Structures are given as structure tokens and as C-alpha cells.
Amino acid sequence: MDDRSGVDAVASKVAAITSLEVREWRSVGSSHGAGHYRCRFADGRELFVKSVSSAEGAAELTAEANGLRWLGEAGAVPVPEVMFCDQGVLGLSWITPAGPDLSAAECFGRDLAGMHAAASDRFGAPWQGFIASLPLTNDRADSWPAWYAERRVLPYCRLARDMGTFGAADVRLIESVARRIGEVAGPAEPPARIHGDCWSGNVIWSEGRGWLIDPAAHGGHRETDLAMLALFGAPHLDRVVGAYQEISPLADGWRARVPLHQLHPLLVHVCLFGASYRESALAAARSAVAAA
């Protein structure tokens, strides 16, 4: 099947799922094995569509749909509406992007505080998670430090070791963070309803607000989302955090804990992209231990 016939096949599948006439259809890129499309129906509605061809890819789309619905239930940060998730195809309401401004950044900070406050009954989630193309174990727990060490840090450290990117000394350093997690995790907090992969690329600025897309949603620690925004430089981050703190002040010492919360996404990047992220992950681990 050539590229054009493959695109047409996805468009036909969407038409069959929705029972609507597809008027316009075009590719808008791809990511982690999924094709991305913009679809306009005859009635004028527009969708963003992801399409995959494997069973694992379909599981990733299901996790994304579950996460978006769950975050949307908070009624705080806006998220795309899930129109359908079936047969390896995910359809979301189309969000027209605009540039961020100070007002939107402050609104996003307040919205994010509201979403976190919507909470979760436990850490983890009742569905299999994914971050990019990597699986996330979301088994539920009542204690965040042990949950983070066992579900987010150690599995990706071991995967990096098995891939040959981490040596024995690297593994020992990461394991030292896990052993001392109770000392470095800060004050205990209840499970927050978090995005889980809240880097700047997963925030779409539109209609004067920040919209969240592509979540690895679960009950987690609210500092995780803020640390992720800082990891690759979200625009107007100081205004986002300032507005957040007006609604829901962070615990003392939160800045020193940023490397701990960035350790998991950096380990994920080591597993996905190799040695180019090794030093960043190890530096975060050293900083986390030093903050004890």
C-alpha cells in the first residue's frame, strides 16, 4: 500500500466510524509511529486524527483517550474532546493554535492548579499507561515516594542499562535516588490529577488559554507537571508558576525537588534517544540526592 492509498484508507475508516462525509483530509505529520491528520467533515466540523497500525499503538491511543477524558472531568485546564477511539484511530476536536501571551500563561497556571486539586483517589491510574511509545506501569498505591521510585525511576534505569546506555556506576547512582526517595521527596501530599508528560510541546495555546494534549495522565505529585514545564522551557513559565501559587501554594523546598521530578522524563529520553540524554539524567540524579 503506497502513502496515498494508506491516507485514503484512514480517511475511509474515519468516515465509517463517524457515519459522516469527509470533505477534506490532509496529513499534518507523525510521531512515535502514529500518523497525524486534519479532517474536515461536510458539516464543517474539524478533527485531529491519529492513526496506528499495531496492537501496541492502539493501546497507546486508548491510554491517551482515557487520560484526556479523565483530565477533562476536572473542568479546569481545557483538553480536546475525544470524539472516538476505535480500530486504531483516535479522533479529537481540532484546536487552532495561537501564540502564548502573559494573560494566557497566568490563566493556564490557575487552570493547572484547579486540575491538580480535582485529585485522584490513589497514585497511579486504572489503565495501562504510555509515555511516547514506552509503557508506563500505573499500578495503584497510597504512597508517592515508593510509587515514583518503583514505577517511574527504576524501570527506565534498568531499560537504559539493558540497552547498553547506562553502565554499572550510572545504575548505582539512580538506585541511590530510589533508596533515598523518602528523604528527597519532600512533605507528603495527596494524589493530584496530573498530566504526567507536561512538557511545553504538549501545551497548545488557543483562545487565551493553555490546552493540554497527549497526556500520560495519572494520580501523581503536582510538582511533576511543573517540573516538566521547566524541563524544555515553557513560555512565560514564571507567570504560570506565579499564578499557580496564588491558587495552590507549593510546599517549601519545591525548587530543590525539580531535578527529582525531572529524573523520570530524562530517563525516558535516555531510553528513546540514547546517550545524548545520559549526562542530563545523571545530573538530575546527583542534584536529587544532594537536596536530601
Q: Which residues are catalytic?
A: 197
Q: Are 101 and 235 within 8 A, CB to CB?
A: no
Contacts of 165 (CB under 8 A, 6+ apart): 270, 271, 274, 275, 278
Length of the chain: 292
Q: What DSSP string runs through 77-141?
A: S----EEEEETTEEEEE--------HHHHHHHHHHHHHHHHT--SSBB-SS-EEETTEEE----B
| Sign of the CA dihedral running 140, 143, 145, 146 | negative
Helix 237-247 vs helix 102-117: crossing angle, to nearest 10: 40
Q: Are 149 and 181 within 8 A, CB to CB?
A: yes
CA distance 287 to 177: 10
Grid cell 472516538 is found at 84
Grid cell 525548587 is found at 255
Cross-strand bridge partners of residue 220: 192
Chain-centre distance for alpha carbon 264: 12
